[in-house]
Amino acid sequence: MEKITSAALKKRPLIISGPCSAETEEQVLQTAIQLKKTGLVDVLRAGIWKPRTRPGSFEGIGSIGLPWLQKAREITGLPVAIEVATSRQVEEALSHQIDILWIGARTTVNPFSVQEIADAVKGVNIPVLIKNPIHPDLELWTGALERILKAGIKHVGLIHRGFSSYGNTLYRNAPMWHLAIEMRRRNPDTMMINDPSHICGRRDILPDIAQTAVDLGFDGLMIESHITPDAAWSDAKQQVTPGRLEEMLHQIVWRRENGTNGEFHATLQKLREQIDQLDDELMQILAARMQIADKIGQYKKENNITILQTKRWNDILERALEKSEQLKLSKEFLIKYFDSVHIESIYHQNKIMNDS
């Protein structure tokens, strides 16, 4: 079949969808046919080799799934995309006329692997999409982009799939939008696709993330879909039926493509990230301040002195109010703020005094 990808990749928004993993021929073909029927999907995706964090879970159907994708392509006319992590996988993909390759988050972290893929695609006319590395490191993402560009690949795209963070959060992978925005700023001519599926890890919040990506002016979305999502062999919780995908895509408010909207949201998002950062720092400073209050509490306890030292408190307030004008903070605000800090400080010292 004729190479159809270069033109297909120019469409905006570019919608890539398909199962997390190819499982059976029937599942691949049915998903592809239903996705094609929506009229909204531009590229069919499916994982053939699945890099799993721990062994024992489904690690992909392997090479026997490649002909299923060829068949899906023949039936639907949709270009097909798979993830590759080794040169052997690249060779197998190429020998089965796979149209687009993507590098997964667990591979982008490893320059040896990325270079191996870059060497394997050298001189080949195939688009390569690069997912962000698992952890929030723009240099590794940039390094992977540079390696693929150096291999002479003309159609390179980036996929923002969120970043791993420790502990339980709403997201499977924190979006950290500011990093995707910064990557976009550094590479304004490179296509940036958002993958809400791996950010969310659950299907109910996919629309919010997809909408934010659209608001930020991303070039497209990669969303996992499956004919029977709950029965999927991998990432069951985050996959949606092609029907649900269609519904979701219709509900998204697509922004004008003149760039102003994307830029507006990108700027807003960046400013908000800065506020969040400062709020975090303020809280750290407040926590450090309370630890000192604890020490003072301990000292007062040992010396049998009262917590409330009115003179000291007036001095603190006076010192702060003197700075009000220079800092452009109103006196009312400073009084309220220091009152709250004082109450919290007394509470801390009280606890120390009364703990035996």
Residues contributing to the site for ligand PEP (CB under 6 A): 20, 47, 104-106, 131, 161, 198
C-alpha 122: how far from its chain's center? Answer: 29
Return the sign of the alpha-carbon dihedral for residues 204, 205, 209, 211.
positive
Which entry of ligand PEP, Mn ion, none binds 155, CB below 5 to 8 A by partner kind? none
When asked if residue 32 is in the footprint of Mn ion (CB under 5 A), the reply is: no
Judged by beta carbon, residue 56 or residue 188, the one nearer Mn ion is: 56
Own/partner pairs for 49-55, CB < 8 Å, 24+ apart? 49/83, 49/84, 49/85, 49/89, 50/20, 50/21, 50/83, 50/234, 51/83, 51/85, 51/104, 51/106, 51/107, 52/234, 53/106
Contact stretch for Mn ion (CB under 5 A) within 17-25, 65-73, 180-188, 335-343: 17-25
Residue with smaller CB distance to Mn ion, 53 or 303: 53
- Min CB(51)–ligand PEP separation in Å: 6
CB of 355 to Mn ion, least distance (A): 50
Could you tell which of ligand PEP, Mn ion, none binds residue 127, using a CB distance below 5 to 8 A set by kind? none
Collapse the DSSP code of 44 into the 3-class scheme (helix H, G, I; strand E, B; otherwise coil) and give the result.
Answer: strand
How many residues bind to Mn ion according to rule CB under 5 A? 2
**CB-nearest residue to Mn ion:** 20
Residue 41 within binding range of Mn ion, rule CB under 5 A = no
Residue 20 binds Mn ion (CB under 5 A):
yes
Q: In angstroms, how far is the first alpha carbon of the chain from the final one?
A: 81
- Rounded CA-CA distance 32/46 in Å is 10
Residue of 235, 242, 246, 349 interacting with Mn ion (CB under 5 A): 235
Give the residue with the Cβ less far from ligand PEP, 84 or 121. Answer: 84
Nearer CB in complex with ligand PEP: 96/198:
198
Given a contact cutoff of 8 angstroms between Cβ atoms, the answer to whether 190 and 157 are in contact is: yes
Nearer to ligand PEP, 20 or 293 (CB): 20
Give the bridge partners for 21, in sequence order: 47
Report the largest interatomic distance among the alpha carbons of the chain, rounded to a whole angstrom: 88
Q: Classify strands 43-45 and 191-194 as parallel, antiparallel or unpaired.
A: unpaired
Name which of residues 118 to 137 contact Mn ion (CB under 5 A): none
| Whether the Cβ atoms of residue 193 and residue 221 lie closer than 8 Å to each other | yes
144 binds, among ligand PEP, Mn ion, none (CB under 5 to 8 A by kind): none
Q: How far is the CB of 338 from ligand PEP (least distance, A)?
A: 47
Site residues (vs Mn ion, CB under 5 A): 20, 235
